[in-house]
């Protein structure tokens, strides 16, 4: 289906900054998320704290964007929750001609990456992060314009998918919360009466220094905070290694960031992490066979009790300067139920992890559906 392509200049009217700033008045500002994620309420600021002498008061249904962030998809339609908020002159604001174009239709159109990339391609400036998209440039852009009734049908179809996606996401989050609560309950039952032994006896520190060849590269592994597992970094070039000596990581190690352990940067190294290197900032602990499993010890360290002990072993006056003491780490008491119970618990973690992974994959598929639907919609293929 072929729709006429109409310049935005025929569909949008630039609104001028209509509010004179009073230094004694507080103004509730709004902002625009990048990547087509919409308009949000920002901070409230007194007129005496900023230099702008004029602001624009937003109205529901207005179309806005920040000149400097257009290249990153920071376009949006003002929702009712942001009506009455203010933006600086750095945010062009447009009234939408509702007789020809639905605001929501325009908003969905600017959620398509290839659209914002093309529109902002004409931004002026030598550095991508300093390029500005001015209103006159935007208004030259031609967009496909179906009849209003067809716009309504398209918006309704996209809205329906959005509602279904949110329902599935909410259900997934509920399942995850219930799964986490179940694991914590099981852990508490087997750990409550178990004897405590120092970390150094259960999973002692084991460092494997790497002999660095300046002409070689070394694939790196690191740990995300908040118990979110390992991830891979760009290979470390041997020629770049000075005093920061890397250490070899093997599958089954308990890998701990000594600067972020206090916020849960603790994980078990997986098979695909085997043979990679960790920086000098990472500690590797290896459970004693037949005494403890890596998964059980790691789970304990990520419980509120474990994180409290990790925090106590990480002295420092500021979060970024809290370094885990390896000596104190090895003194942390670890519950040690029977090895058989730990293996059984590990199997529960594995099974729930499979459920969690399937949920993430399903969520990713849902997230990919909206851009695909938008692309089809604006090609007239719905």
Q: What is the CATH number of the domain that holds 79?
A: 3.90.220.20
Q: Which phi and psi angles does 196 have, rounded to 5°?
A: -105, 140
pLDDT of residue 43: 93
Tell me the three state secondary structure of residue 212: coil
Q: How confident is the model at residue 162 (pLDDT cuts 50, 70, 90)?
A: confident
Residues 184 and 203 in one domain: no
The answer to whether the CB of 72 falls within 8 A of the CB of 106 is: no
Four-point Cα dihedral 282, 287, 293, 297, nearest 10: -50
% of the chain at pLDDT higher than 70: 94
If asked whether residues 179 and 75 sit together in one domain, one would say no
Q: Which residues pair with residue 77 across a beta bridge?
A: 63
What pLDDT was estimated at residue 46? 96
Model pLDDT, residue 243: 62
Q: In this predicted structure, what is the pLDDT of residue 7? A: 97
In whole angstroms, give the CA distance from residue 102 to residue 152: 8
Residue at a domain's end among 113, 128, 145 = 145
Is pLDDT at 124 greater than 70 in this prediction?
no
Do 129 and 10 reside in the same domain of the chain? yes
Mean pLDDT throughout 355-361?
Answer: 73
Tell me what pLDDT residue 149 has.
Answer: 93
How far is it, in rounded angstroms, from Cα 140 to Cα 372? 26
In whole angstroms, what is the distance from residue 290 CA to residue 283 CA? Answer: 22
Domain count, the chain: 3
Based on the domain organization, do 361 and 305 belong to the same domain?
Answer: no
Q: Which of 85, 120, 145 is the C-terminal boundary of a domain?
A: 145
Last residue of a domain, one of 80, 112, 145: 145
46 Cβ contact partners less than 8 Å away, ≥ 6 residues apart: 23, 24, 25, 26, 27
Chain-wide mean pLDDT for the chain? 90
Q: Looking at beta carbons, which pairs linking 238-242 to residues 24 or more positions away fall under 8 Å?
A: 238/212, 238/213, 238/214, 239/214, 239/215, 241/212, 241/214
Q: Which residue in the block uniquely carries the two structure tokens 């208004």?
A: 139
Query: Radius of gyration over alpha carbons of the chain, in Å?
Result: 27
Give mean pLDDT, residues 347-351: 91
pLDDT at 129: 54
Mapping DSSP onto H, E and C, the string for 290-324 reads CCCCHHHHHHHHCCHHHHHHHHHCCCCCCHHHCCC
List the single range of 181-185, 227-231, 330-334, 352-356 with lowest mean pLDDT. Answer: 352-356
Q: What whole-number distance in Å separates Cα of residue 230 and Cα of residue 256?
A: 10
- The DSSP-derived string for 99-145 is TT--HHHHHHHTTSHHHHHHHGGG-B-SSGGG-B--HHHHTT-EEE-
Would you state the structure tokens that stand for residue 50, as one six-digit string? Answer: 């900023």
Give the confidence band of 130 by pLDDT, cuts at 50, 70, 90.
low
Residues 212 and 175 reside in one and the same domain:
no
The mean pLDDT value for 64-87 works out to: 94
- Domain of 275 in residue numbering reads as 196-336
Give residue-wise pLDDT tens across range 261-296. 999 999 999 999 999 999 889 999 999 999 999 999
Average pLDDT over residues 377-382: 69
pLDDT band at 382, cuts 50/70/90?
low
pLDDT tens per residue across span 204-231: 999 999 988 888 899 999 999 999 999 9
Average pLDDT over residues 136-159: 92
pLDDT of residue 125: 55
Please tell me whether residues 70 and 86 are part of one structural domain. yes
Q: Do 9 and 97 fall within a single domain? A: yes
E-only strand ranges, the chain: 5-7, 12-15, 19-20, 26-32, 39-46, 54-57, 63-64, 76-77, 86-87, 93-96, 142-144, 196-198, 217-223, 230-237, 247-248, 254-257, 266-268, 277-278, 282-285, 333-335
């Amino acid at each position: 289906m072929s729709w006429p392509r109409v310049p935005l200049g025929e569909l949008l009217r630039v609104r001028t900054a209509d509010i004179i700033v009073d230094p004694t008045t507080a103004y509730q500002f709004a902002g625009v998320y990048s990547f087509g994620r919409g308009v949000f309420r920002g901070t409230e600021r007194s007129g005496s704290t900023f230099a702008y002498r004029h602001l624009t008061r937003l109205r529901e249904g207005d179309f806005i964007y920040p000149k400097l962030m257009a290249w990153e998809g920071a376009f949006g339609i003002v929702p009712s929750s942001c009506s009455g908020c203010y933006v600086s002159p750095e945010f062009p604001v447009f009234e939408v001609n509702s007789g020809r174009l639905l605001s929501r239709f325009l908003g969905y159109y600017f959620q398509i990456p290839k659209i914002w990339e093309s529109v902002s391609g004409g931004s002026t400036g030598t550095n991508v992060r300093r390029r500005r998209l001015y209103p006159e440039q935007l208004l030259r852009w031609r967009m496909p314009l179906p009849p209003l009734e067809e716009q309504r049908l398209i918006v309704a179809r996209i809205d329906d998918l959005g509602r279904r996606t949110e329902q599935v996401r909410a259900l997934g989050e509920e399942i995850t919360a219930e799964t986490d609560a179940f694991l914590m309950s099981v852990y508490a039952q087997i750990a409550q009466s178990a004897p405590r032994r120092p970390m150094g006896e259960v999973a002692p520190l084991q460092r494997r220094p790497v002999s660095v060849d300046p002409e070689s590269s070394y694939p790196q592994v690191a740990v995300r905070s908040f118990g979110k597992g390992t991830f891979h970094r760009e290979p470390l070039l041997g020629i770049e290694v000075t005093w920061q000596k890397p250490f070899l990581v093997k599958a089954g190690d308990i890998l701990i960031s000594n600067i972020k352990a206090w916020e849960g940067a603790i994980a078990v190294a997986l098979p695909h992490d085997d043979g990679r290197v960790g920086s000098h900032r990472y500690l590797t602990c290896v459970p004693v066979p037949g005494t403890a499993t890596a998964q059980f010890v790691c789970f304990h360290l990520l419980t509120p009790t474990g994180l409290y002990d990790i925090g106590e072993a990480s002295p420092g006056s500021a979060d970024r300067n809290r370094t885990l003491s390896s000596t104190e780490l090895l003194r942390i008491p670890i519950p040690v139920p029977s090895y058989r119970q730990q293996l059984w618990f590990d199997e529960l973690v594995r099974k729930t992890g499979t459920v969690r992974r399937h949920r993430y994959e399903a969520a990713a598929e849902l997230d990919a559906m909206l851009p695909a639907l938008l692309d089809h919609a604006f090609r007239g293929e719905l």
